Amino acid sequence: MPSTQTPPLAGLATDPTSLRPPLTDATIERVDATQVRARLEALKGEGYTMLLDLGAVDYPERSPRFDVVYHLLKLPATATTVASAGTPQRFRLLCGVDGAQPHLPTATDLWKSADWAEREVFDLFGIVFDGHPDLRRIQMPHDWEGHPLRKDYPLRGPARERAPRPPFALKSNVQAGTPPSGKTLEALQEQVKKARGQ
Amino acid sequence: MTMSATPLTPEIVSHEGNAMVLSMGPQHPSTHGVLQIMLEIEGETVIKAEPEIGYLHTGIEKSAENLFWSQAQTVVERMDYLAPSSNALCYVLAVEQLLGITDAIPERASQIRVLQAELTRIASHCVWLGTGCIDLGAISIFFYCFDMRENILDLQEAAGGARMHPNYMRVGGVNGDLPEGYLAKLDALIAKFPGRMKELRDLLQANPIFQDRTIDVGRLSAESALEWNVTGPALRGSGVAYDVRKAFPYCGYEQYEFDVPTRTEGDAYARFLVRLEEMEQAMRIIEQVRRKLDAPGPVMIDNTKIAAPPKETIALSMEALIHHFKIVSEGFRVPPGDVYQAVESPRGELGFYIVSDGGNRPYRVRTRPPSLYNLQALKGMATGAFIADLVVQIGSLDPVFGEVDR
C-alpha cells in the first residue's frame, strides 16, 4: 500500500546540481544568500534581460533549508528575427536560504517581473524579500496562517479539531418499527441531536 | 490617496478628491476567470491598476508532490485548461529528461505529441478570439471560433478519451495509437481550416470598429515586455522573435517548416495579428505531421520499468503481470536531480522546474506559468488607459486563471 506521506530525502544530496550533468542549455551556479544580490546585478549587467522565473524548494532536513531558484534568459530586445534570437543563453542561479529567519534581498528593482514571483515565494514558503515594495500574500487569503508549500505543511491543510461524526440512521437499514438496535427511530434521532450538541 | 492593500475590502468604492478606487471583478465577465483589479481612476482614466489574483488557487503544485509521477501529470494538465496538451507535454518532457530517456522516445510518439500540441494551440487561440470579441461586443465571432474548437475537441476526445483534459501524453510516449478514423477527421479539419480563417480575417482584420478598439491600445515596447517577463504572442507582438520551438527545439520541431510571426507595434491589434498568423502556422505544422502519420510505428517506449506492458501480454507473461502491477500500485522511480524544461504553450514559455529525490513522487514541481507573468504586465500597461480599453488589454494578454493561480 503506497504511503500518503511524501517520501524522505533519500539520496538527495545537498547540492542538486552535482547530481546530474546539466540537462538543458543552461549555465548552473550556486551562490550564498549574502552574494545573491551582487551576482544578480552582475548577471543583469551581462545582458540577462529576463528573469524567466523565480521559485523555491524546501529541504527541511538540510541546512540551509530553502533553495531559491532564479531562471534567467539572455534575450536582447533587438532580437527581431528568429535567426538573431538564436538560442538565447539560460542561467539558473540557486541560492540557499536559512530556515530560521528566511530572508533574501529583493530583485524587483532589477527586473519588474520579480514582483509577483517574490510575493508567491513569500506566500507559499515564508521567505521574506527585503526591500520588496508590496510584500503580501498573493495566492492564499490575506489572513491565512502558515506557508502551504513547505514540506511540513500538511497536504490537507492544518489539522482542525473535528467533531466526532454523529451516528445516523439510514432509511434503508432501519425497518419501520424494528430498528436494528432495538431502539425506536425517535430514540436514534435523539442520540443524533445529542451528539451534535443540540 | 493609497490603493487598498487588502484585496477583499468591504468598501467597493471610496472617494477622495477627484480620484476614486474601484474594484473591478473578481466576478466580471471580461476578466476570463476570477480576476480582481483594484483601479485608481480619475474620470474614465486609469491612474493605477493592481490586479489581485489567487481566487482560483487550488494548490496544484502541492498536490503534485503527493502523487505518483504519472498521477501528477493529470493535475498539472488542469492548470492551463484551454491548452491541456501543452502542460502535459512539458511535464512529460521534463520527467523524461530526469529519467534520461529523451532520445529513446519513438518517432511516431513525438509526431503525435507535436500534432496534439499544435491542435491545442489552435483550440486555445479560438477561445481567446471568441471571448475577446465578445468583450468588444462582437457576438458572432464566438460561434465561428467555438465551432472550430469543437472539431478539435472531438479529435482530442477520439485520441485521449476526454474532450477537455485528454490526458493523452505519457512519460515515454502517448497512451495508445491514434484510433481508427482519426486521420480522416483530421483531414476534414485541415480542409475546413483555411476557409474558416479567411472568414475570421474578413470579419475582423479590416473592420474599422475592431481597429478602433484595438490599435494603439495596450502598448508594450520590446524593452518593457522583456522587463515584465512577457513571452509568447504578446512578446512577439512587440517585435521580439522568441519562440521556444525555435530557440530550444523539442519533440523534433526542428524538422518542421514554420515561421514565427512578429509585429513591431506592440499593441492589442498587433497581438491579434500575431495570434491569427500563429493559428495558420500551427496548421502548417499539422499538415506536415499529418503526412508522416500514415506510416505505422510504436508510440510508447519499450521499457517496462516506466511504461506498463501491453494489456494482452499480461495473461501470457508472469513478468508482464508483475511490471503492470508494480507500475499501477507504486509507479516508477526517477533518479534524483533537477531539471528545467520549457515548451511554447499558446500563451508563451511554459516551464517546469522539477526536482526528484529518487522516489516515486516528484519532490517539487515548480511551474513557470506564462499567464502569470503576462498578466503582471498589465500593471505597467494599464496606466493612462480608459477603463473600457482595460478589457481589451486583458483580452489581448490572454490569461488563463487556472494557470495564474494554480
Which stretch of DSSP H or E encloses residue B19?
strand B19-24
Q: What is the maximum alpha-carbon separation in chain A?
A: 86
Q: B4 versus B193: which is more confidently predicted?
A: B193
Residues A29 and A92: beta-carbon distance below 8 Å: yes
Checking if the pLDDT of A64 tops 90, the result is no
Nearest chain B residue to A123, by CA: B54
**Beta carbons of A53 and B353 less than 8 Å apart:** yes
Determine the distance in angstroms separating the CA of B180 from the nearest CA of chain A, rounded to an integer.
Answer: 37
Whether B120 contacts B111, CB under 8 Å: no
Residue B213, SS3 per DSSP: helix
Worst-scoring range by mean pLDDT, A10-24, A32-46, A147-161, B224-238?
A: A10-24
Residue % of chain B over a pLDDT of 70: 95
**Angle at which helices B107-135 and B182-204 cross, to 10°:** 30
The answer to whether the CB atoms of A90 and B229 lie below 8 A apart is no
**Could you tell me the three cell numbers for A122?**
513569500
* pLDDT at residue B21 is higher than 90: no
**Cα angle for residues B229, B231, B234 (degrees, 5° grid):** 110
How far apart are the C-alpha atoms of B394 and B30, rounded to whole Å?
A: 8
Q: What is the pLDDT of residue A184?
A: 62
Residue of B363, B365, B374, B405 for testing the chain A interface, max A β-carbons within 10 Å = B363
Examine the pLDDT at A180 and tell me if it is beyond 60. no
- A111 with B264: Cβ contact below 8 A: no
Q: What is the mean pLDDT of residues B33-42?
A: 84
- Whose CA is closest to B346, among B1, B67, B86? B86
Which residue from B minimizes the CA distance to A121? B366
Chain A residues lying within 8 Å of B220, measured CB to CB: none
**Residue A111 and residue B69: Cα distance in Å, rounded?**
33
Distance, CA of B236 to CA of B278 (rounded, Å): 10
Give the model's pLDDT for residue B117. 93
φ and ψ of B333, to 5 deg:
-100, 150
Angle between helices B182-204 and B140-160 (to 10 degrees): 160
| Partners of residue B243 in chain A, C-beta under 8 Å | 82
Mean pLDDT of all residues in A147-151: 88
Confidence (pLDDT) at A161: 43
Minimal Cα–Cα distance from B229 to chain A, Å?
6
Question: pLDDT > 90: what percent of chain B?
Answer: 33
Q: State yes or no: pLDDT of A22 exceeds 50.
A: no
For residues B259 and B271, what is the distance between their CA atoms, to the nearest angstrom?
16
Burial A67-88 (b: 16+ CB within 10 A, else e): bbbbbbbbbebebbebeebeeb
- Among A57, A85, A153, the residue with its CB nearest the CB of B247 is A85
For A18-22, the CB contacts below 8 A with 24+ separation are A19/B335, A19/B336, A19/B337, A19/B338, A20/B98, A20/B335, A20/B336, A20/B337, A20/B338, A20/B339
Residues B60-302+332-379+392-405, CATH architecture:
Orthogonal Bundle (1.10)
Q: Is the pLDDT of residue A11 over 70?
A: no
- Mean pLDDT lowest among A25-29, A181-185, B233-237, B360-364: A181-185
At B186-217, the pLDDT tens digits run 999 999 999 989 988 988 888 888 888 888 88
**What mean pLDDT do residues A146-162 have?**
74
Yes or no, beta carbons of B339 and A23 under 8 Å apart: yes
Three-state SS letters, B42-97: ECCEEEEEEEECCCCCCCHHHHHHCCCHHHHHHHHCCCCCCCHHHHHHHHHHHHHH
DSSP character at residue A91:
E
Q: Assign B142 to helix, strand or coil.
A: helix
Res. A103: pLDDT tops 50: yes
Identify which of B120, B381, B135, B116 has the alpha carbon closest to the alpha carbon of residue B237.
B381
Contacts of A90 in chain B (CB under 8 A): 340
Q: Which residue of chain B is at minimal alpha-carbon distance from A12?
A: B357
Assign B93 a pLDDT band (cuts: 50, 70, 90): very high
**Contact assignment for A13 to B337 by CB distance below 8 Å:** no
pLDDT score, position A116: 92
Structural domains of chain A sorted by starting position, each given as residue range(s) with its CATH number in brackets: 20-130 (3.30.460.80), 163-198 (no CATH)
Contacts of A153 in chain B (CB under 8 A): 62
Q: In the structure, what pLDDT confidence band is assigned to residue A159 with cuts at 50, 70 and 90?
A: low
Our measurement of the distance from residue B221's CA atom to the centroid of its chain's CA atoms, rounded to an integer in Å, reads: 23
Q: Which residues of B275-314 are buried (b: 16+ CB within 10 A; e: fewer)?
A: bbbbbbbbbebbebbbebbeeeeebbbeebebbbbeeeeb
Least confident of A9-18, B94-103, B219-228, B332-341: A9-18
Q: Output the nine-digit C-alpha cell for B255.
A: 524538422
What integer pLDDT is reported at residue B95 of this predicted model? 92
Q: How many CB pairs lie under 8 A apart between chains A and B? A: 165
Would you state the pLDDT for residue B319?
87
Selecting from B62, B241, B379 the residue whose C-beta is nearest the C-beta of A80 gives B241
Closest chain A residue to B264 measured between Cα atoms?
A80
Mean pLDDT within B26-40: 79
Q: Report whether pLDDT(B288) > 80.
A: yes
Name the region of A157 (left: φ>0; alpha: ψ -120 to 50; beta: rest).
left
In whole angstroms, give the CA distance from residue A164 to residue A169. 16
For residues B157-167, average pLDDT: 88
- First CA to last CA across chain B, in angstroms? 33
Instruction: Quote the pLDDT of residue B2.
Output: 43
Contact state of B240 with A137 under an 8 Å Cβ cutoff: no
Residue B38: pLDDT band (50, 70, 90) is confident
**Higher pLDDT among residues B16 and A88, named by residue:** A88
